[in-house]
Chain A
Amino acid sequence: AQKITQTQPGMFVQEKEAVTLDCTYDTSDPSYGLFWYKQPSSGEMIFLIYQGSYDQQNATEGRYSLNFQKARKSANLVISASQLGDSAMYFCAMREGRFNAGNMLTFGGGTRLMVKP
């Protein structure tokens, strides 16, 4: 079974509007972390936001927020006020085990976001 599923291969959003990128995960480990990365066309992987499984509140970082629904095993990324520079591939990733175990990341297939002017 897929551990990380991103069901939207591609999405369009109008500039200045908000957009939600979906991510569902599958794990039986009670300790895990969820990460979102952005990969522009230049290729680098840029860390955006992190949510730990025991975190009580949804993570936020500037225009990025994570809609964490533990019971549904979903960790959707919300980008507010989209900008042209947000056009990129977005990857959801999961680390199983405690944060200080330093375990590997498992990635979803990614969502290509295109922002229209």
Chain B
Amino acid sequence: DSGVTQTPKHLITATGQRVTLRCSPRSGDLSVYWYQQSLDQGLQFLIQYYNGEERAKGNILERFSAQQFPDLHSELNLSSLELGDSALYFCASSVVVGGSTDTQYFGPGTRLTVL
């Protein structure tokens, strides 16, 4: 158990819908990262938050957005869903400042299926 929690574990929805994925980082970790794993694109970085602020953006579509709340949990919002958005979405967390390593620990993932 990495200490990172993600809900829900599975999500099945229809095209055009909107969903919210939730992540709670490990205790003490200030940084949260979102990654998407799909068969055709592999593992790709989407976005990073550090202590409530957006810190870096990767290959995140405009239909996707995220935020990190004061209690450090994070949510990834996916809207106007398309079939191609079906993927495994991971949240990871790391200490960043104050640690001797920046190892990112991953949650169990949310498997999104868009029908």
Contacts and interface: CB of A to CB of B under 8 A. Distances in A.
A102 B55 contact: yes
Interface in A34-54: 35, 37, 43-47, 50, 52
Contact of A35 (B2, B90, B103): B103
B43 A91 contact: yes
A102 B32 CA distance: 10
A7 B45 CA distance: 21
Interface stretch (B11-19, B65-73, B104-112): B104-112
Contacts of A103: 56, 102
B9 to A, nearest CB: 9
B42 interface: yes
Contacts of B92: 45, 105
A26 B111 CA distance: 31
Contact of B33 (A33, A46, A104, A110): A104
A91 to B, nearest CB: 7
A107 B36 CA distance: 11
Interface string B37-72: 000001111001010000110100000000000000
Please classify how large the interface on chain B is, using the bins under 10, 10 to 19, 20 to 34, 35 or more: 20 to 34
A100 B58 contact: no
A102 B96 contact: yes
A102 B109 contact: no
Nearest to A33: B102
A99 B96 CA distance: 7
A104 B109 contact: no
Given A43-B108, A107-B43, A100 B96 contact: yes
Interface of B: 2, 31, 33, 35, 42-45, 48, 50, 55-56, 58, 88, 90, 92, 94, 96-97, 99-109, 111
10 contacts: A37-B106, A43-B111, A44-B107, A45-B109, A47-B103, A52-B101, A91-B43, A100-B97, A103-B56, A107-B42
